[in-house]
Amino acid sequence: MNWIFIAIIPTILWSLVNYVDKAVISRFFTGKGEVAVITTGFAGLVMALFILIFQPGHITDITIFYRTIAVLNGAVFVLAFMPYCKALEIDDASRAVMVYQTIPVFGFLLGFLFLHEHFGFYALFGGLLILLGSTFVMLDSVDGKWYLKRKTLLLMLLSSFMTALHVFVFKFISLEQTFWSTGFWVYVGMALCGLVLYLIPTYYKQFNDAVRGHVGVVLVLGTITEIMSITGLSIVAYVSLRVPISAVQVVNGFQPFVIIVLGYLLTKLLPKYFNESFSKKHLAIKVISFIVMLVGVVLVSKFV
């Protein structure tokens, strides 16, 4: 069972990335969180250069058609972070990021619509539980009156759908072409999208005002988090070759638990930079949502 300790590493890396994103947005992009995605475009440039240097023979090993689709898919990946960054700006990371558990659900929907894949009752029920948990975590109350944080929920659902679309298209191209060639042109698309966003006058001014005097720190942090995310994905791919993918998905289902624990520790140890809400009410909502989602992930992973 040593693979479990390896498989849990991505959930820790991704949770750290979420909190670094939250800290960067809170520190530099208050009121304009969506502009932070420009740093993702810069990270795409760095990763494209990495492949160009170490895997140059693969970058042309792809047809013009798939190259174009890959570039557009890179832009989709960057744009998927806009609602995510906005959600982190207005809400707790430990609340918003839990909705990312819906990414596989949207993946199933895309598979059903375009690949004519079919799933049994238990898998569908598991998907509904994940959606239920994502909705429940957005409940809050003021003066005894309960309400749903619709804006955060809709922003994260949009980001989840766009991310699922990116993964779906990336997998499709990789199966037809090669992994490195697909990755290179996806990163080119990310870089181009970041550049286009940067050249938009409003975003240009907002981004420069936000990072003035700190541009190096912001870009370095953005690149580091991108590398951490890719490392997590690579570990998942490695472990998936040795154990059933369903088992890996169940382990990944623990990310909401990791992000809750990590958020609590960061709030206690570094209150200057992190201020997640962990009142008894909010903690209970987050834990219940995690349990409901985990049951959904188990059902989906076992019966797909």
What percent of the chain clears pLDDT 70, i.e. is strictly above it?
Answer: 97
How far apart are alpha carbons 216 and 302 in whole angstroms? 45
How far apart are alpha carbons 249 and 252 in whole angstroms? 5
For the entire predicted model, the pTM comes to: 0.91
- Hey, where are the domains in the chain? 2-120+144-242
Q: What is the pLDDT of residue 303?
A: 62
Residue type present at position 235: I
pLDDT of 249 > 80? The answer is no
Q: What is the pLDDT of residue 290?
A: 95
Give CA torsion, residues 277, 283, 286, 289, to 10 deg. -160
Q: Within the chain, how many helices (H) and strands (E) appear?
A: 13, 2
- Angle at CA 97, nearest 5°, toward 246 and 80? 90
Query: What's the longest Cα–Cα distance across the chain?
Result: 63
pLDDT in tens, 49-102: 988 998 888 788 899 999 999 999 999 999 999 999 999 999 999 999 999 999
Sign of CA dihedral 228, 186, 30, 258: negative
| pLDDT-derived band at 241, boundaries 50, 70, 90 | low
